[in-house]
Amino acid sequence: MKEYKKNHQTNNNKRGNNYIFSNWKDHHFFFLFIALFIAGNVVYYFYYQYDTPYTRSKKAYVPAGYENDDFFADQIKQEQEQQLETAAGEKKSVRDSKKVFQQQQLGHFRRKQPSTTAEQSLPLDHPLLVIVTTNKPQHLDRLLQNLLDNVIGLDKSRIAIFNDGHISIDPILKKHSIVNHQLAVELNAQHHPSTTPTKESQQTNISHQQKITNQNKHYKQIFDTVFNSHKSAIFLEDDLLLSPDFLLYMNKMLTYLDQDNSLFCVSSWNDNAFRWASYPPSLFQVGAKDQHGNDITPADLIANNNNNNQNTKNQDLLLLSKPKNLYSFKRQQHFGGLGWMTTSDIYQSNILPNWTDDQLPWDVIVQNSLDPNHHECIFPEISRSYHAPNIKINFINSDKIEIDEWSFLQFSKDNDNQQREEYENLNLDYLIQSNYEVWMNKVVENTLFVESLEMITLLESNREDVKGWAYLVESVESNQDPRWDHLISTQFGMIGRGNGGTVRGIHRGIVQLCWFGKPLYLIGAYSPYLNKDLLDSHTLLIKDIDTSIVEFDKSINNLQSLVNLFKLKNDASVIAQAAKASLSCHTACQQVGKICHESDQVLLVDVDTTKYIFETLCDKVTVLQDYSGQLPHNNFNYLPIRHQNFSCVIPPTFKYLSCNATPPSGGTSRLCVCRDLYLS
- Concatenated DSSP letters for 565-588? HHHHHH-TTEEEEEPPTT--HHHH
Packed helices 208-227 and 362-369: angle between N→C axes, nearest 10 degrees: 60
Checking DSSP bridges between strand 376-380 and strand 329-332, what pairing results, if any?
antiparallel
Domain identity same for 583 and 485: no
Does 75 lie in the same domain as 18?
no
The domain of 561 spans 551-679
Q: Is the pLDDT at 547 greater than 80, yes or no?
A: no
Query: Per-residue pLDDT for 433 more than 70?
Result: yes
What's the whole-number mean pLDDT along residues 38-50?
Answer: 52
Residue percentage of the chain with pLDDT more than 90 = 46
397 and 515 fall within a common domain: no
Q: Distance between alpha carbon 468 and the CA centroid of its chain, in Å?
A: 24
62-66 mean pLDDT: 31
- Same-domain check for residues 139 and 241: yes
User: 205 and 306: one domain?
Assistant: no
Residue 492 has pLDDT above 50, yes or no: yes
Q: Please report, for the domain that includes residue 383, its CATH number.
A: 3.90.550.10
The stretch 337-356 carries a mean pLDDT of 96
> Percentage of the chain surpassing pLDDT 70?
69
Is the confidence at residue 58, as pLDDT, over 60? no
Name the residue with higher pLDDT: 339 or 285. 339
Which domain-ending residue is among 385, 414, 443?
A: 414
pLDDT at 116: 52
CA distance 662 to 668: 10
Q: What burial letters (b/e) apply to 605-634, b meaning 16+ CB within 10 Å?
A: bbbbbbbbbbeeebeebebeeebeeebbee
558 and 663 part of one domain: yes
Q: Examine the pLDDT at 451 and tell me if it is beyond 90.
A: yes
Per-residue model confidence (pLDDT) at position 473: 96
- Tell me what the pLDDT averaged over the chain comes to: 78
Task: Mark which of 514, 529, 545 sits at the end of a domain.
Answer: 545
Lowest mean pLDDT among 240-254, 351-365, 546-560: 546-560
Among 511, 529, 545, residue at a domain's last position: 545
Q: Are residues 638 and 503 in the same domain?
A: no
The pLDDT value recorded for residue 26 is 55
> Which pLDDT value is given to residue 40?
61
pLDDT of residue 117: 52
- Asked whether residue 196 is domain-assigned, the answer is yes
Per-residue pLDDT tens digits for 117-157:
555 567 889 999 999 998 899 999 999 999 999 999 999 99
Question: What is the predicted pLDDT for the residue at 272?
Answer: 93
Rounded to an integer, the average pLDDT of 417-426 is 88
pLDDT number for residue 296: 58
Is the pLDDT reported for residue 65 higher than 90? no
The tens digit of pLDDT for each residue in 262-308 reads 999 999 999 999 999 988 776 444 455 555 666 656 556 555 554 44
Q: What pLDDT score was predicted for residue 490?
A: 86
- 481 and 364 housed in the same domain: no
In a domain, 430, yes or no: no
Q: Which amino acid is at 3?
A: E
190-207 as b/e: b if 16+ CB within 10 A: ebbbbbebeeebeeeeee
Cα 453 from Cα 201, distance rounded (Å): 54
More reliable by pLDDT, 115 or 619: 619
Whether the predicted pLDDT of 401 surpasses 70: no
Asked if the model's pLDDT at residue 88 lies above 80, the reply is: no
Confirm if 641 and 661 have CB atoms less than 8 A apart: no
pLDDT at position 601: 96
Q: Is residue 187 part of a domain?
A: yes
Q: List, as one string, the DSSP characters of 593-609.
A: T-EE-HHHHGGGSSHHH
Least confident of 144-158, 440-454, 485-499, 541-555: 541-555
Taking residue 71's Cβ as centre, other Cβ atoms within 10 Å add up to 15
Q: Does residue 577 share a domain with residue 460?
A: no
Q: Which residues contact 223 (CB under 8 A, 6 or more apart)?
A: 347, 351, 352
For residue 46, give the H/E element and its range: helix 28-49
pLDDT of residue 545: 81
Examine the pLDDT at 49 and tell me if it is beyond 70: no
Give 237-270 pLDDT, tens digit per residue. Answer: 999 999 999 999 999 999 999 999 999 999 999 9
Greater pLDDT, 100 or 585: 585
Residue 54: inside a domain:
no
| Structural domain total, the chain | 6
Chain center to CA of 680: 25
Average pLDDT over residues 593-604: 93
Q: Which of 417-431, 504-518, 617-631 has the lowest average pLDDT? A: 617-631
Residue, of 316 and 355, whose pLDDT is higher: 355
Q: For 91-105, 329-343, 462-476, which range has the lowest pLDDT when averaged over its residues?
A: 91-105
Query: Is residue 158 in some structural domain?
Result: yes
Any domain includes 495 = yes
Reading across the β-sheet that carries 376-380, which strands appear in turn?
Answer: 159-163, 128-133, 232-237, 340-343, 263-267, 376-380, 329-332
Q: Higher-confidence residue: 365 or 465? A: 365
Within a domain: 116: no
My answer on whether 232 and 91 are in the same domain is no
Per-residue pLDDT of 317-336, as tens digits, reads 444 557 888 999 999 999 98
pLDDT confidence band for 68 (50 / 70 / 90): very low
pLDDT at 59: 36
Both 363 and 388 in one domain: the answer is: yes
State how beta strands 128-133 and 232-237 pair: parallel
The predicted model gives 502-531 an average pLDDT of 95
Q: How far apart are CA 411 and CA 242, in angstroms?
A: 9
Q: Are residues 220 and 159 in the same domain?
A: yes
63 in a structural domain: no
Task: Check pLDDT > 50 for residue 420.
Answer: yes
